[in-house]
Amino acid sequence: MDISLKINGSTEELSIEPGVTLLDALRERLSITGPKKGCDRGQCGACTVHVDGRPVLSCLTLAAVVRGEVTTVEGLSDAERLHPVQQAFVDQDAFQCGFCTSGQIMSAVAAVEQDVTDVREFMSGNICRCAAYPNIVAAVEQARRSDATV
């Protein structure tokens, strides 16, 4: 079936099988490889992207049912300057192997935007096998402090 996806400010036309997930469409068809395939069953959060500004799991989303605007980690910065959340992850050393990081950042952006009270609870849908959790929480807190000046 033919679908149209709005991703990071551009529109992409694709011909896909109905069972293709948004994650596979992004990675395999559009070479947008920021979203990672960790568990591929909605448990690890490495595939987190935004649809209309809300974090969702692209591995449990069929590409053909997406109606909104998709933002991946590639769409956060303007290429000149990192997004404040990305900068905070660098500053706070909030990753080790980096595999979960793009998903962590997409959730962290929403945590900052929503000004959540319980960062650890909000971020619990993003698993980090390196257990960089204290630094991830520190990055969210830094980004939250810097948010007013963005």
Partner 1 sequence: MRPFELTAPATVDAAIATPGAFLAGGTTLVDLMKLNVLTPHHVLDINDLPLRGIDTRDGLRFGALERMSDIAAHPGVYPVISRALLASASQQLRNMASIGGNLLQRTRCGYFRDVTMPCNKREPGSGCPAITGANRMHAILGTSESCVATHASDVAVALVALDAEVRLAGAGGVRTVALADFYRVPGETPDVENDLRPGELITEVVVPRLDWAQRSTYVKVRDRASYEFALCSAAVALDIQDSRVVDARVTVGGVATVPWRLTEVEAALRGVPATVESFEAAASVAADGAKPLSGNGFKVSLLKRTVVRALIEGSRG
Q: What are phi and psi of 69, to 5 degrees?
A: -90, 125
> Nearer to partner 1 by C-beta: 14 or 60?
60
Per-residue binder mask for partner 1 (CB under 8 A), 35-64, x = binder: -----xxx--x--x-----xxxx--xxx-x
In the complex with partner 1, which residue's Cβ is closer, 30 or 111? 111
Structure token pair of residue 9 = 């400010």
Nearer to partner 1 by Cβ, of 1 and 90: the residue is: 1
d(CA 28, CA 35): 11
Pair 104, 94: CB distance under 8 Å: yes
Report d(CA 40, CA 147) in Å as an integer: 32
Q: Which two structure tokens, joined as six digits, stand for 3? A: 């679908």
Binding test (CB under 8 A) with partner 1, winner from 110, 137, 146, 147 = 110
* Measured CA angle at 95 (ends 142, 55), to 5 deg: 70
Chain centroid to Cα 45, Å, comes to: 8
The reply to whether 100 sits near partner 1 by the rule CB under 8 A is: no
Binding residue (CB under 8 A) for partner 1 from 4, 93, 120, 131:
120
- As given in the structure block, the two tokens for residue 139 are 């990055």
Minimum distance from residue 81 beta carbon to partner 1 (Å): 27
| Site residues (vs partner 1, CB under 8 A) | 1, 17-19, 21, 40-42, 45, 48, 54-57, 60-62, 64-65, 67, 107, 110, 120-122, 124-126
